[in-house]
Amino acid sequence: MTNPSDDLKKALDNWASINKGNAEIGFVEGMFIGALSSSSIIDKFSMWLLAGTGATAALMISNIDKLIPVLGANGIKYSIYCLVISALFGFLAKYKALHCQIMQSIREEINIRVMSIMEKHEMDEEKILEMAEKHNLEVQTNIDVNVISTEYCKAFPKIIHKKLMKEFTTGLRDRLTPSRRAVKNLFWQGNYTVAQFLMFILFVVTALTNIKNI
């Protein structure tokens, strides 16, 4: 026969372990969210640079006949190459920034909506279980995750159901998976923005080194 105090200790240890794990994951999620907040700042810089790159390229092309005597044909060509590559990196940075923004928006919306639903569910569940206990009844109140995932997937084409289910299952096993993906996108957004900036600097250097004395 097991000792009631041992059972209680085991239950409390399990509860403490779950509580500790949730707190640790919560801290990590908070750090991820803090890091992701820099995405919008990086995006602004990248967009300013992209706008400047586009304006510079348009100005050079519209005045190419006047610039050829100053920079030479090769100078013009290499300068435009640098601007084009810089713009490509800018578009890639924007693509990654959109990923970060979308994932942040989805997380915020899910947290807001799911929290309110869970609060209501827990309140109703408590009342149901209390009434069931009074009448010595056994009632199933657990949420069926399979129903949620199946109904969610129905809104999308069947061709991507398998992928959605895989992502859903992965997210259930590891809450940090979406955050890790978002931070990875942030990492590449930063890299592409740096490359974009360096290519613009290379354009300036290329243009300056090809200026001819007239």
Is 147 part of any domain?
yes
pLDDT band at 214 (very low <50, low <70, confident <90, very high): very low
Q: Which of 86, 39, 50 is nearest to 181 (CA)?
A: 39
Distances 76 to 42, 83, 91, 199, 202 between C-alpha atoms, Å = 29, 11, 23, 15, 13
| 1 pLDDT above the threshold of 60 | no
Q: Is residue 213 part of a domain?
A: no
Side-chain half-sphere exposure of 97, counting CA atoms within 13 A: 21
Collect all residues with Cβ–Cβ distance below 8 Å to 50 and sequence separation of at least 6: 87, 90, 91, 94, 196
Q: Has residue 125 been placed in a domain?
A: yes
What is the tally of structural domains in the chain? 1
In a domain, 214, yes or no: no
Number of H helices and E strands in the chain, helices first, is: 6, 0
Nearest to 192 by CA among 50, 77, 81: 50
Over range 79-105, report the average pLDDT.
Answer: 91
Q: Do 53 and 87 form a contact (C-beta atoms < 8 A)?
A: yes
Residue range(s) defining the domain that contains residue 191: 2-208
- The predicted-structure confidence for 3-12, as pLDDT tens digits, reads as follows 656 666 676 6
pLDDT tens for residues 133-174? 777 877 777 777 777 777 777 777 777 777 777 776 776 677
Q: Is residue 150 part of a domain?
A: yes
